[in-house]
Amino acid sequence: MRTVELADGTSVPMLGQGTWMMGETGARHGEEVAALRRGIELGMTLIDTAEIYGDGASEELVGEAIEGLRDDVFLVSKVAPSHASRRGTVAACEASLARLGTDRLDLYLLHWRGRFPLGETVAAMEDLIDAGKILRWGVSNFDVSDMEELMEVDGGRACAVNQILLNLDHRGPEFDLLPWLDERIVAPMAYSPIGQGGALLRRPELREVAERHDKTPAQIALAYTLRWPGVLSIPKAGTLAHVEENAAAADIRLDAEDWALLDEAFPPPERKMPLAMI
Ligand code: NAP
Closest ligand 1 atom number to CA of residue 193? 3
Per-residue pLDDT tens digits of the chain, which is 278 residues long = 899 999 999 999 999 999 999 999 889 999 999 999 999 999 999 999 999 999 999 999 999 999 999 999 999 999 999 999 999 999 999 999 999 999 999 999 999 999 999 999 999 999 999 999 999 999 999 999 999 999 999 999 999 999 999 999 999 999 999 999 999 999 999 999 999 999 999 999 999 999 999 999 999 999 999 998 899 999 999 999 999 999 999 989 999 999 999 999 999 999 999 999 99
d(CA 225, CA 208): 18
Q: What kind and span of H or E run contains 4? A: strand 3-5
Q: What kind and span of H or E run contains 59? A: helix 57-65
d(CA 200, CA 173): 18
Cα 192 to ligand 1 centre (Å):
5
Structure confidence at residue 182 (pLDDT): 97
Q: Tell me, using a 6 A CB cutoff, whether residue 218 lines ligand 1.
A: yes
Q: What angle do CA 193, 194, 198 make, to 5 degrees?
A: 140
Structure confidence at residue 229 (pLDDT): 87
Contact assessment for residue 98 and residue 92, using Cβ atoms and an 8 Å cutoff:
no
Q: Taking phi first (over 0 means left), then psi (-120 to 50 degrees means alpha), and beta for anything else, what does residue 97 get?
A: alpha
Nearest to 233 by CA among 163, 155, 139: 163
Cα 41 to ligand 1 centre (Å):
19
**Residue numbers annotated as active site:** 53
d(CA 170, CA 23): 27
Nearest to 209 by CA among 270, 267, 256: 256
Q: Tell me, using a 6 A CB cutoff, whether residue 238 lines ligand 1.
A: yes
- How many residues are listed for the chain in this entry? 278
Structure confidence at residue 142 (pLDDT): 98
Q: What kind and span of H or E run contains 138? A: strand 137-140
Q: Which residue among 15, 17, 19, 20 has the greatest number of ligand 1 atoms within 8 angstroms of its CB, and so is best to mutate?
A: 20
Q: What kind and span of H or E run contains 97? A: helix 86-100
Cα 238 to ligand 1 centre (Å):
9
Q: Tell me, using a 6 A CB cutoff, whether residue 233 lines ligand 1.
A: no
Q: How far are the Cα atoms of 41, 240, 273 from residue 107, in angstroms, in the given order?
A: 21, 26, 28
Closest ligand 1 atom number to CA of residue 239? 48
* CATH no., domain 3-198+229-253: 3.20.20.100
Name the closest-CA residue to atom 7, ligand 1: 197
Q: Tell me, using a 6 A CB cutoff, whether residue 194 lines ligand 1.
A: yes
Q: Taking phi first (over 0 means left), then psi (-120 to 50 degrees means alpha), and beta for anything else, what does residue 111 get?
A: alpha
Chain centre distance of CA 236: 10
d(CA 75, CA 135): 10
Nearest to 237 by CA among 77, 38, 64: 38
